[in-house]
Structure 1
Amino acid sequence: MGLNIDFENREALTITDFEFLSLFKKGNEKVYFRLIQEEKHIAKKIDCLLTLDDDLEYPLIQNIFKKYQKQGYGVYFVVNSGGQEKNSIKRINAHFIDMDFGKVPKIDNGELIKDSEGKIVYEYRNKEEIEEYKIVFLKKLENFKLIPNVIVETKNGFHVYWLLDLEKPQWLDVFTPLQEKLIEHFASFEKRHEHADPNVKELNRVLRIINYRHLKNPKDPFTIKCIYLNTDVKYTQEDIAAAIGYNIIELVSNTKCTEIKPVTVKAEINNLRKDSRRVYSSPILQYEDLIPFLKQQDLISYLGIDAKSNVNFKCIFHNDNNPSAVIKNSDGYYKYFCNSPACICHNDGKGMDIIDIVKIKENCDTSTAIRKLVEYFHIELEDSTWINEQSKKFETNMMLLSQLGERKDEFPNLNRIIRFGYPILMDILEIGKKNIINRFFSTNGESIFFFSNRYLAGKRNKSVVNINKYINLFCTLGLLNKISYKQVNQRLRAMAVQISKDNAQNGISFYTVPDYNKAFKSADERASIMLQYKFSIKGMSKKYLENCFGEEFANQIYLVNVKDSERSKNIRDAIESLILQQIKTYGYFTRDMIMNYKLKLDNHYIRCGVKEYEFRKVLPDIIQKYDLIYVKANNNINQKLGIDTKKYVLIQRSLLDE
């Protein structure tokens, strides 16, 4: 076959990025984009409708792309359709490979070279070397059985696409295994298999959009270009599988999931004699003395088995025909040994202490095992050293917070963004200081405490919604850390639930607090970014944080995903469409336009109160998404728009720059 490409002089085809995306997406379909800061690896997610008969929305998104390109962001799109996440993909649009000749792992005598930290060392090729590999690859690609539909040239290689016939059946579950086989096929022809990126196999994979720049090295940018386009033929997954020597039926059958279960401990360990539990007096221990105390407890007595120290017996952790286990007492410390390498407690011959035994028995982590043993032996635990350290941290934090106003020159952004929330944060620190218990009620060494947002709202005479926004602000700045329920000690959770019931309060949440000596600097840096994105406490939302710091960061702050009704989403989509249409027609939009507009959805008119609520909710997202500005009209704006008003208008930010 012939690609009709001049291998040495690869010209960019005259195709727009809109036309490029339309190769993969249907008319009036939502497209999902990823903007990735090439040096810092910060990701931002955006979506918009890519309509073929209305160029209103996408040009605004193009302006956003250009803005972020200036900040070092690369522009990507999700090739398949449905969403940003794997489980949201509903349709496969293409199979593809990503050839990258820019770097490969360094090898010496057949072994990977690693640095002092155990990380793989890479060797980077120069432009001339990369160019040679590019030419050789394209010549090889000419011999492939299926003509590609699209070839996109990147700085260090190519993205090669085979578009699917969307009218033919396809299997979502086959996508990844077929990708793997396709990648393996092209890797087999390369000197280094790594040239065919093995990671380009997920359903939600993003690849670069043409006509935007590769900016990993801002001093040496490269404009991504389409060098080959053929839409005369579309393929099925069967076609692609057959071209690389596989039967699609085999791949379909191989996608059935095989559940891998953890090693099951022999039944005896879970059926130890109930009457073996001894009644202990309650020892009072400092935390530092706890672990040695536990390891000195008689394992034979604890397990309730008929055995003697240093005498072999049949292991209770596996089917043991010959006595292969022994409990040894060395200087007062007990350990369980099993000589069978197949046994779960063999542990490379190192043996298992009482904590290890509980971890196996209860299928839990070390911290949980220790807590269970504390309860079993009725230990009263004192932790004065740790408690004093935590108490001192809270006291220091409260002092630093009270002095923050005097350090405006050092932390100008933090002072500006937190000035109205200062009393609320001080209340939270006081709650945390009063609720230090012991090290078991901690995570990563930090004391966990809890409170009801409703309680805090009552104390400060504010709405719960307002309190929630401030708490999310503190967490965003890194001055407060939300802790998920999974990380919280079960007893502490039970305690919190009981207190919540007793006080008729809902919404108990768990937190830790960092050291403000270390946290203020990064908090000021985050505050600076938020101010650039027109921060206001009213506009504090998950979407706002996604715009500032990316979706992954926002998910860490908003641990609970609030479900939105389909009707609300449809109303906001209709409002967004109206706003864009009005800006296109008149150059601006005002709140009155939506209030006076008879918005109809599912043959029902939307009430003014609902329109007002949804407009306020969607406004911050639209401002961020399309780089708009909501500002009170002045003489300059009125003159440019040919209007006469003193109302707030929503306009393109570029209008003020003209």
Structure 2
Amino acid sequence: MAKRLGSTTYSRNLKRFSSHARYFIKKLGCEQNEQLNFILVHDDKNKNTKYSSTSKHPAMTLHKPLSLLESHTPQFTLFTKRNKRIHVLSQNKKGYAVFMEINYRESKTSDFKKIRAQFIDVDLNKISVHLDTKEQVKQMIETIQSDPAEQLQSITVKKNKKGQYHLLALRKKQRVAKLKNAFIKKFKTHIKDTMIVETKNGYHIYWVIQGGSVSKFVPIQKALAKKFSSDPMITNLSRVMRIPGFYHMKNPRSPFMVRVKQLGRKKPFSQAEIIQSLALKPFN
């Protein structure tokens, strides 16, 4: 039976994982006086592709210093630019995903001062390919459908403004679960000391950094994405990521609690250690 808002399972998970957001933020090395920047974006992207102030579900840009942040997610409140208080869990129940800017800057318009982590987004829910011809699309669909291991819920093809075809195949949750296990097994030695956040469709993996160079952040992000075949778009300094302790609400009938699966080692990484230990290219 699908889990519903207000159900025993929903409430039990909230209690069980209520401290995970705080664990996550502290693990990133955030200091008490540092301003934390958040954004709430509605998970129903199919109905709301733009998040302007006039849309049905506008995005909310929020902030709060760590020193004032509550310990458990049911009590989390954040502030708007006009210092209006927003109760985060109430918005999460309405379908809003909770994201945080990982790297540190004093304000949304200032330069970044600190790299808190290098990280990747492993999304195992989809097969996304850009192709040039209809024949290539046909061949790709045949290849995917002929794989006995694949379990798909949908395949869509759209033509973009450049004339390319974007093929998007979404996997069933049973297949995603198997791929999650396979990923952890395959890269066990590479990620044994990292912080791992489990999402509905995969993992966010963090190499927490101390004394990192802002100029090296993007090249290392690109190299990590190639190494782990993860989302190649996760490279910008201002990247926001889902924080644990809140629900993934794309399917309100079956919410998934984002959680810390592994906190990782106590000692932060250096960027040089990441490059060397993972033999990242083009660095090595």
TM-score, normalization: structure 2? 0.70
1:166-177 matches, within 5 Å, as 168=211, 170-177=212-219
C-alpha root-mean-square deviation of aligned residues, in Å? 3.0
User: Paired residue for 1:22?
Assistant: 26
- Asked which structure has the greater RCO (Cα within 8 Å, sep 6+), the reply is 2
User: Paired residue for 1:551?
Assistant: none
User: Paired residue for 2:67?
Assistant: 51
| Whole-Å separation in 2 of the counterparts to 1:83 and 1:236 | 23
Q: CA deviation at 1:218?
A: 2.0
Matched, 1:186 2:237: no
Any idea what SS the aligned residue of 2:77 has?
Answer: helix
| Whole-Å separation in 1 of the counterparts to 2:42 and 2:97 | 6
Matched, 1:103 2:126: yes
User: Paired residue for 1:37?
Assistant: 42
Counterpart pick for 1:91 among 114, 119, 127: 114
User: Paired residue for 2:199?
Assistant: 154
1:356-371 matches, within 5 Å, as none
Structure 1 residues 83 and 77, CA, compared in 2 at 3 Å: closer, same or farther? farther
Any idea what SS the aligned residue of 2:104 has?
Answer: coil
User: Paired residue for 1:115?
Assistant: 158
Contact 2:18 2:245 in 1 (8 A): no
Q: CA deviation at 1:13?
A: 6.8
Q: CA deviation at 1:155?
A: 0.4
Contact 2:76 2:89 in 1 (8 A): no
Contact 1:179 1:200 in 2 (8 A): yes
Counterpart pick for 1:61 among 77, 88, 95: 77
Structure 1 residues 126 and 55, CA, compared in 2 at 3 Å: closer, same or farther? closer
Write 1 or 2 for the structure with the bigger share of helix. 1
| Whole-Å separation in 1 of the counterparts to 2:198 and 2:238 | 21
Question: Aligned letter for 2:158?
Answer: D
| Whole-Å separation in 2 of the counterparts to 1:83 and 1:219 | 38
User: Paired residue for 2:144?
Assistant: none
| Whole-Å separation in 2 of the counterparts to 1:240 and 1:162 | 8
Q: CA deviation at 1:110?
A: 5.1
Contact 2:223 2:281 in 1 (8 A): no
| Whole-Å separation in 2 of the counterparts to 1:55 and 1:100 | 30
Contact 1:31 1:50 in 2 (8 A): yes
Structure 1 residues 209 and 68, CA, compared in 2 at 3 Å: closer, same or farther? same
1:255-334 matches, within 5 Å, as none
| Whole-Å separation in 1 of the counterparts to 2:270 and 2:258 | 27
Per-residue CA deviations over 1:37-83 (Å, capped at 9, x if unaligned) read: 1122532210101117x859x94516621121132110010111115
| Whole-Å separation in 2 of the counterparts to 1:182 and 1:86 | 27
Write 1 or 2 for the structure with the bigger share of strand. 2
Q: CA deviation at 1:15?
A: 3.9
How many residues align? The count is 226
| Whole-Å separation in 1 of the counterparts to 2:252 and 2:166 | 24
Contact 1:15 1:226 in 2 (8 A): no
| Whole-Å separation in 1 of the counterparts to 2:159 and 2:194 | 44
Contact 2:20 2:260 in 1 (8 A): no
| Whole-Å separation in 2 of the counterparts to 1:123 and 1:84 | 38
| Whole-Å separation in 1 of the counterparts to 2:185 and 2:110 | 37
Question: Aligned letter for 1:175?
Answer: F
Question: Aligned letter for 2:20?
Answer: T
Question: Aligned letter for 2:65?
Answer: L
Counterpart pick for 1:222 among 247, 253, 256: 256
User: Paired residue for 1:311?
Assistant: none
Per-residue CA deviations over 1:391-436 (Å, capped at 9, x if unaligned) read: xxxxxxxxxxxxxxxxxxxxxxxxxxxxxxxxxxxxxxxxxxxxxx
| Whole-Å separation in 2 of the counterparts to 1:93 and 1:128 | 34
Matched, 1:233 2:238: no
| Whole-Å separation in 2 of the counterparts to 1:246 and 1:15 | 34
Structure 1 residues 127 and 114, CA, compared in 2 at 3 Å: closer, same or farther? closer
Q: Larger C-alpha radius of gyration, 1 or 2?
A: 1
Counterpart pick for 1:163 among 208, 217, 223: 208
Matched, 1:126 2:166: no
Structure 1 residues 86 and 201, CA, compared in 2 at 3 Å: closer, same or farther? farther
| Whole-Å separation in 2 of the counterparts to 1:22 and 1:77 | 13
Counterpart pick for 2:232 among 198, 203, 218: 198
Bigger CA drift: 223-232 or 62-71?
Answer: 62-71
| Whole-Å separation in 1 of the counterparts to 2:231 and 2:208 | 19
Structure 1 residues 244 and 60, CA, compared in 2 at 3 Å: closer, same or farther? closer
Q: CA deviation at 1:121?
A: 2.9
1:588-603 matches, within 5 Å, as none
Any idea what SS the aligned residue of 1:120 has?
Answer: strand
1:459-478 matches, within 5 Å, as none
| Whole-Å separation in 1 of the counterparts to 2:125 and 2:173 | 8
User: Paired residue for 2:8?
Assistant: none
Any idea what SS the aligned residue of 1:230 has?
Answer: coil
| Whole-Å separation in 2 of the counterparts to 1:206 and 1:35 | 10
Contact 2:119 2:205 in 1 (8 A): yes
Contact 1:17 1:210 in 2 (8 A): yes
Q: CA deviation at 1:116?
A: 5.4
Question: Aligned letter for 1:211?
Answer: G
Unaligned runs of 5+ in 1: 1-11, 188-195, 252-658
Unaligned runs of 5+ in 2: 1-15, 52-58, 79-85, 130-136, 142-154
